[in-house]
Amino acid sequence: MQTDPIEARAEAVRRFNRFYTRQIGVLHEHLLNSAFSLTEVRILYELAHRSMLTTSDLCRELGLNAGYLSRVVGGFEKKGLVAKTRSATDARVAQLELTGKGRATFAPLNEASRREVIAMLERLSEPEQHQLVDAMSQIHDVLGETAPNYLLRDPQPGDMGWVVHRQGVLYAQEYGWNAEFEALVAEIVASYVREFDQACERCWIAEKDGKVVGSVFVVRHDRETAKLRLLYVEASARGLGIGHRLVDECLRFARLAGYKKMVLWTNSVLTGARRIYEQAGFQLIEEQPHHSFGKDLIGQTWALDL
């Protein structure tokens, strides 16, 4: 008897679900022995890695019941792990943040989870690790609430020259920067290509409708610090979440590569990029006025502990 193709696919999905559930159960065994449930740890994780979250944000992001989340957050408040502050733009909205005690409580849980995943990955070769992470990313993209109409991929021949060209054009059009900036981008890209180390560096190209619409690089700054470089998104592709996704991929890769910190340098006039960095959890640590690219600018260094 011939099986309906969709029935066969459904069985394949169920088989994968059973397998992956077993894998996650093994990884979370230690966390289950802690004082917190897995859901509580997920909430702590979101609060530790993202700023200005509200209970509505957490309900939406984690798929939690509002009443249940309210009870969990209330319990965290009583323990001194979470504090509420009123939004600067809407006094009716309460934003959540971890207290110092909350961060100190979460840190060993986060480290235990990180080490368990690293132990799993260490059983694989480096190409297999990248294959696994990329496959997970594809599943996320397909099953997400809003499947993106773009893709992120590794660079192909010709992409590096295109990145230099487009950044030179875009920053001249939008900010009036001169050819000095294009020269800087060319130097960064050339250095990346010549010195590329696949264990600790990565580039993503964003593609939409067959055209390159953005990119970002992670490079080694020092043994424990990654540097995010050359984030850009074409004006025609902005508003699709590509910039946020590119930064998220950088952070995910940096953690997987074993970095402890990520830094980046930008300029105060790049308000859209700065917003993305801030929402990802980066903090401004230094500002310095300078004259570059034909303009008086304020350079900014941002950093995030991973």
Mean of pLDDT values over 80-84: 90
What residue segments make up the domains of the chain, in order of their start? 5-123, 151-305
Parallel, antiparallel or unpaired: strands 225-233 and 261-267: parallel
Q: Please report, rounded to a whole number, the percentage of residues in the chain having pLDDT higher than 90.
A: 45
Res 158: pLDDT: 93
pLDDT at 304 over 60: yes
User: Considering the entire predicted model, what is its pTM?
Assistant: 0.57
Select the more confidently predicted residue: 107 or 138: 107
Mean of pLDDT values over 137-160: 78
pLDDT at 93 over 80: no
Fold annotation for 5-123: Arc Repressor Mutant, subunit A (1.10.10)
Per-residue pLDDT reduced to its tens digit, 20-79: 777 766 555 545 567 787 788 888 888 887 767 788 878 877 878 888 888 988 999 999
pLDDT at 145 over 60: no
Name, in order, each residue with C-beta under 8 angstroms of 218's C-beta and a sequence gap of 6 or more. 201, 202, 203, 226, 227, 228, 229, 250, 253, 254, 262
Per-residue pLDDT reduced to its tens digit, 250-300: 998 999 889 999 999 999 999 999 999 999 999 999 999 999 999 999 999
- Write a three-state SS string for the chain: CCCCHHHHHHHHHHHHHHHHHHHHHHHCHHHHCCCCCHHHHHHHHHHHHCCCEEHHHHHHHHCCCHHHHHHHHHHHHHCCCEEEEECCCCCCCEEEEECHHHHHHHHHHHHHHHHHHHHHHCCCCHHHHHHHHHHHHHHHHHHCCCCCCCEEECCCCCHHHHHHHHHHHHHHHHHCCCHHHHHHHHHHHHHHHHHCCCCCCEEEEEEECCEEEEEEEEEEEECCEEEEEEEEECHHHCCCCHHHHHHHHHHHHHHHCCCCEEEEEEECCCHHHHHHHHHCCCEEEEEEEEEECCEEEEEEEEEEEC
pLDDT tier, 147 (very low <50, low <70, confident <90, very high otherwise): low
Res 91: pLDDT: 62
Res 49: pLDDT: 79
- CATH superfamily entry for domain 151-305: Gcn5-related N-acetyltransferase (GNAT) (3.40.630.30)
